[in-house]
Amino acid sequence: FSLHATPGWANPVGHRKDPRSGDYPPLGHLPKKWAHYKGLYLQGDRVVLAYTVGKAQVLETPTLETSGSHRAVVRSFRIQRDGSKMTLVVMDLPEGADKVTPKGHQVTIGHGQDSSVSVQARQLPQGSEFHVADGQLLLTLGAARGSDEFSLAISRETGAGINGSTA
């Protein structure tokens, strides 16, 4: 899976159009009111990225989980919410993706006859939903205040996730 050099979150009013100009990939920072990188931290053998999206404080930890031959990239989030809806760009749809099937907190993206990508959400905040726009898989978190913790497991296989978990 991939995500082109575009903003990974919609701005605080829900727009995703990149305001930066110049050659691709766009150069420079996003406006601080949109998103602001604060740094990275080590927690044991894990990296924690710290940034803001609007007024929300975000901690994100990317990891690789394996179980037998099953591998998944897992993005874990802890977000201190400000009451606004938030839209995360999960991934660009693979070229040739011919079917996107959301089912609860799991999305399967068909790519040819034998290949698919699965995105499984764990502990999504209430009111969250996956949707597709402009060739990207998006996750919108419903308006809420307080702290939310959830994760997304992205893999090439469908069905049971890492450690047998399902959404």
pLDDT tens-digit series, residues 144-155: 999 999 999 999
User: What is the mean predicted confidence (pLDDT) over 82-101?
Assistant: 88
DSSP run (H or E) holding 149: strand 145-155
Taking the whole predicted model, whether its pTM rises above 0.75 is answered as: yes
CA 122 to the chain's CA centroid = 12
* Contact (CB, 8 A) for 5 and 26: yes
Half-sphere CA count of 103, side-chain side, radius 13 A: 10
**Residue 109, beta-bridge partner list:** 100, 117
In whole angstroms, what is the distance from residue 160 CA to residue 65 CA?
A: 13
